[in-house]
Amino acid sequence: AQTVTQSQPEMSVQEAETVTLSCTYDTSESDYYLFWYKQPPSRQMILVIRQEAYKQQNATENRFSVNFQKAAKSFSLKISDSQLGDAAMYFCAYRSQGGGADGLTFGKGTHLIIQP
């Protein structure tokens, strides 16, 4: 079974600065997907960024980028120019590349606080 570990229960950053959230995972599979989801106080899950394991290039979405280290099984999220609206819980998640019936395995989450 796959496991996802987020070792930072809480992170705090000044507005406009950069913050990196850590995630490691354990799997015996070679093909899979990794995700970062944001969960604001409304509790609606919002996809931030996705990475396919077969791609060496790190995914980027505007101010959000990842550092994917497949050999180290590490998948960190960097948020640049932090904004107040970025404050939320952030979950790292893993999905097998198998059939369409694979759900997500989530880490425990990191609570991100943005200091004005």
Partner 1 sequence: GAVVSQHPSWVICKSGTSVKIECRSLDFQATTMFWYRQFPKQSLMLMATSNEGSKATYEQGVEKDKFLINHASLTLSTLTVTSAHPEDSSFYICSARDGLKALYEQYFGPGTRLTVT
Binding residues for partner 1, rule: CB under 8 A, are 33, 35, 42-45, 50, 52, 91, 95, 97, 99-109
Q: How far apart are CA 60 and CA 66, in angstroms?
A: 7
CA distances from 79 to 16, 28, 53, 71, 97 (A): 10, 29, 21, 23, 26
Residue 67 in tokens? 């550092």
Select 13 or 104, whichever has its Cβ closest to partner 1. Answer: 104
Q: How far is the CB of 78 from partner 1 (least distance, A)?
A: 21
Output the six-digit token pair for 109.
């989450």
Closest separation in Å from C-beta 77 to partner 1: 16
Q: Which is nearer to partner 1, 16 or 47 (CB)?
A: 47
Minimum CB–partner distance for residue 109 and partner 1 (Å) = 5
